[in-house]
Amino acid sequence: MYSDRINALPPYLFAAIDEAKAEARGRGVDVIDLGIGDPDLPTHPHIVEALCEAVKDPKTHSYPSHNGLYEFRKAAADWCEKYKGVKLDPDTEVLTLIGSKEAVAHIPLAFVNPGDIVLYTDPGYPVYKIGTEFAGGEPYPLALKAENDFLPDLDAIPGDILKRAKLFFFNYPNNPTAAVADLAFFEKVVEFCKKNDIIAVHDNAYCQMVYDGYEAPSFLAAKGAMDIGIELYSHSKTYNMTGWRLGFAVGNKDLIKGLDKVKSNIDSGTFEAVQLAGAVAMNGSQACVAEMNEIYKERRDILIEGLRSMGLHVEPQKATFYIWAPLPKGFTSIEFAGLLLEKAGIVATPGLGFGAAGEGYIRFALTRPVERLQEAVERMKKLQF
């Protein structure tokens, strides 16, 4: 019944987790969900108000333009210059997205031919691999290891792989490891991609979710990155707008044009009222983002302290709202995630779900209030693993 490409896909990680949660709740379990990275905090009120005003205007009810409203693209360009030090032309170097996930899936369709290799960081967002397979490309994982600060070893890639490589997906601040990268690493990526004629795709969805004074740089701030790179941003995490489906791509104009050509043939753009509200989010005060980060920082500190009290070695991360924790001895990530759900009613994501290099870890999302995180810690302590 289904196509070969669909039959070849494993179950989508978070769909499987949703099924496990529903089954547990059906048994009456009080589930504490620290699995998917979906903010529990509401969208900031001034953004909601901007949407309400915009949706009253009948002009927003028509099909949107294929590349997005100029007002939104201009706001995105201004935001990137103000907060990332990257100057962009909103007409040719910015593209509105229906969330950054769809861009991750569509980019291989624009640039990858059957048999081309796509490099991607592992553990990583599952869509890097899935989007590649949909396009007929061959995904090639680059293992992220603790001893390398969860940065890929670009020098270890075999020459025969590099000859066929067309695209490189990478993501810092990183999901799921919460690792960060500096401008020196990004400059190395630029040199690597230029030398091997590879398109660089940096997924920067978590760049504003930062703590302890850390600021996450843009890949495009690295010298030469605009020649070979594209960067993806998302309103989902920065402004608690996961359900709104809004983001933007920036970078080399030819790469932006290629992605736009795919999108213009597949989707009908982003609801203009949502774009106008998104522009308000970027143009206005970012105090709401700072307040949100303080909330996540408090949650981070509580959960890390609890995990440490159980003998798990976890360092406070500088960015994202994830904690990437090593497993207790004697467990696989699937086994430990199962134990947490079955015996403690806690949903966490097994590291293996993000790729083979994720085995040995489990990911917790800081998406529940302090009181629920404290309850989760107490439940885990009773397991005595």
Q: How far is CA 172 from the centre of its chain?
A: 9
**What is the C-alpha separation between 218 and 207, in angstroms, rounded?**
8
Across 240-247, average pLDDT: 96
pTM (2 decimals)?
Answer: 0.95
Torsion over CA: 34, 232, 53, 269 (sign): negative
**How large is the angle between the packed helices 100-111 and 126-134, nearest 10 degrees?**
40
- Sheet with 165-170: strands ordered across: 94-97, 247-251, 229-234, 199-203, 165-170, 117-122, 138-143
The residue assigned the tokens 């050509």 is 261
Return the axis-axis angle of helices 100-111 and 253-266, rounded to nearest 10°. Answer: 100
| pLDDT on residue 163 | 97
**Does position 326 have pLDDT exceeding 90, yes or no?**
yes
Which pLDDT score, from 0 to 100, does residue 13 have? 67
Q: How confident is the model at residue 341 (pLDDT cuts 50, 70, 90)?
A: very high
pLDDT surpasses 70 at 14:
no
Element (H, E) at 382: helix 370-383
Confidence of residue 12 (pLDDT cuts 50, 70, 90): low
> Could you report the per-residue pLDDT of 73-103, keeping only the tens digit for each?
999 999 999 999 999 999 999 999 999 999 9
Quick one: CATH architecture of 45-283? Answer: 3-Layer(aba) Sandwich (3.40)
CB neighbour list of residue 100: distance below 8 Å, 6 or more residues apart: 203, 205, 232, 233, 234, 236, 247, 249
Residue written as token pair 């980019």: 107
d(CA 8, CA 205): 28
Nearest-10 Cα torsion for 140, 146, 149, 151:
0
Domain spans in the chain, listed from the N-terminal domain onward:
4-43+287-383, 45-283
Beta strands (DSSP E) in 21-76 are: 32-33
4-43+287-383: which CATH number, 3.40.50.300, 2.40.30.10, 3.90.1150.10, 3.50.50.60? 3.90.1150.10
User: In this structure, what DSSP letter does residue 210 have?
Assistant: B
